Amino acid sequence: MKSLEELKAIREQMKKQLDIRDQSDSNIRVAVGMATCGIAAGAKPVLAAFLQEIDRRDLRGISVTQTGCIGVCRLEPVVEVYVPGQEKVTYVKVTPEMVPTIVADHLVNRQVVTRFTIGAAEQEEKA
């Protein structure tokens, strides 16, 4: 850090991320499983990717939170999306590369990305 302006810019960026992570009046909630199993499987970069993508798109009404164990450790990292009036959607084996698709298709356009869901993963395991 070389100047007060850089420090202020960092502060503003972090403030935006905190706002995204805690919007109590939000319409949509994205919960990233951050128990030890999720963290070991790569949930921290997934959480960061959601924060960055939502900030990059300047989306409002979406909060990103972290939660404990969701109960399907073999499918970590797990992300649950709650849209008011709709059934919860559980995304599994989520990578940071999948996040822009989930944000664009599900959070913005309200189209579930079924190929990333727990239902698709369970079908794949049966095959």
Q: Which fold has domain 4-126?
A: Glutaredoxin (3.40.30)
The 10 Å Cβ neighbour count of residue 58 is 7
pLDDT at residue 124, as a whole number: 72
pLDDT digits (tens, 9 = 90+) for 36-51: 999 999 999 999 999 9
Rounded distance, CA 115 to CA 119, Å? 8
Which runs of E-coded beta strand occur in the chain?
28-33, 62-67, 79-82, 89-91
Q: Given this model, what pLDDT does residue 27 score?
A: 87
Taking the alpha carbons at both ends of the chain, their separation in whole angstroms is: 53
- Is 78:39 a contact under the CB 8 Å cutoff? no
**Of 3, 4, 54, whose CA–CA distance to 30 is shortest?**
54
Which of helix, strand or coil describes residue 81?
strand
Which element (helix H / strand E) includes 9? helix 4-21
User: pLDDT tens, 8-33?
Assistant: 777 777 666 555 555 555 589 999 99
Give me the pLDDT at residue 26, please.
Answer: 56
Helix pair 43-56, 4-21: axis angle to 10 deg: 100
Q: Is pTM, for the whole model, over 0.75?
A: yes
Nearest to 41 by CA among 91, 95, 80: 95
